[in-house]
Structure 1
């Protein structure tokens, strides 16, 4: 549950909602960069769930004065670990005020034995990853749902590993293949351009770092 409402200080900023299948609800975002970051959380196979505006944190500046801080997101991984995320453009990170604040926040999290990470556009919008994540999102909406994912997996032959072209032909379309990647029934290296020769494998093989990518 969010600890504060999504607000913008200027009408020039974007805000909106992301339809999360992983969470079964709409996720609020306060900038286009946050929206793009959500694609990473939604389709990372090791992220079990995530929460926007998850908590109110207390940190101390260099003079020992107390301040409040609201992380942008908290990720919960399949192993039970957590990661708090700040999404910030590089131009903001270069200002002394923001840089000093986030350094103090990171120090406070470290003192408490919790993980904290800042994501900028170099991480969030790196290609071809973001393009591939958008393709998963599109496919999750376009692929027919008449056959449940598990039943669709049972129709696959010739495994346990395939080329993307093989599965596209078996399932009569790329969208059903990507739908199974989106639902973690299949894995593929999303850091590489998707092509007919891309390797696809079941998650139980634990190959290719479980199909995960760097956050």
Structure 2
């Protein structure tokens, strides 16, 4: 595999600008305490994943849409932006792709994810796939969600927004 991507600049914000595609996909600004600013997420499920990241003591910082990679695998050119880069204590990190249901993805999308996983293995990076069931399917998630809503002082409008989009 040949990587043709440019250098990664994480502090410049998301590598790609999000656009509204379907009714469940809209921009959610998640108020991250770990990062000290709002994280721009491509929907409710990604913002729900942020709750796990906020409560995971091993996570130092995380980035949404961190970098757009371009590579060639067996003559096929790919371009892909992972949903998250998660930085852990001791300098470890991993990329994450979040989808409601991977079994409902197009073959071409799954091939791209498989090729990116192979690229990560080649480069010594880690890559995770997380679906709706793994992110919001446990009772623990709902407890973390309620706890997170109480961690920072927010006004009534922000509280209403939070409950409307994340507690539905």
TM-score, with normalisation over the residues of structure 2?
A: 0.76
Aligned to 2:39: 27
Tell me, in whole angstroms, the C-alpha distance in 1 between the residues paired with 2:104 and 2:68. 21
For structure 2, the 5+ residue unaligned runs are 1-12, 155-168
Tell me, in whole angstroms, the C-alpha distance in 1 between the residues paired with 2:102 and 2:115. 19
| CA shift in 2, pair 1:94/1:7, >3 Å | closer
Shift of 1:12: 6.0
Q: Identify which of 78, 81, 84 aligns with 2:92.
A: 81
- Deviating more after overlay: 131-140 vs 42-51: 131-140
Contact 2:58 2:88 in 1 (8 A): yes
Q: Deviations over 1:62-112 (max 9, x none)?
A: x42222110111000012101101111215555322221211110111111
Alignment of 1:93-172 (within 5 A): 93-141=104-152
Choose between structure 1 and 2: higher strand proportion: 2
Tell me, in whole angstroms, the C-alpha distance in 2 between the residues paired with 1:60 and 1:90. 26
Q: Does 1:40 align with 2:49?
A: no
Report the 3-state secondary structure (helix = DSSP H, G, I; strand = E; otherwise coil) of the residue aligned with 1:141: coil
Q: Deviations over 1:23-71 (max 9, x none)?
A: 110101112211111111111111000000111112335x422221101
Tell me, in whole angstroms, the C-alpha distance in 2 between the residues paired with 1:122 and 1:93. 14
Q: Does 1:13 align with 2:31?
A: no
Report the 3-state secondary structure (helix = DSSP H, G, I; strand = E; otherwise coil) of the residue aligned with 2:16: coil
Report the 3-state secondary structure (helix = DSSP H, G, I; strand = E; otherwise coil) of the residue aligned with 1:79: helix
| CA shift in 2, pair 1:55/1:137, >3 Å | same
Q: If you compute each CA radius of gyration, which structure gives the higher value, 1 or 2?
A: 1
Tell me, in whole angstroms, the C-alpha distance in 1 between the residues paired with 2:105 and 2:62. 27
Q: Identify which of 59, 62, 67 aligns with 1:55.
A: 67
Contact 2:24 2:43 in 1 (8 A): no
Contact 1:60 1:108 in 2 (8 A): no
Report the 3-state secondary structure (helix = DSSP H, G, I; strand = E; otherwise coil) of the residue aligned with 2:152: helix
Report the 3-state secondary structure (helix = DSSP H, G, I; strand = E; otherwise coil) of the residue aligned with 2:51: helix
The CA RMSD measured in Å over matched residues stands at: 2.1
Contact 1:84 1:117 in 2 (8 A): yes
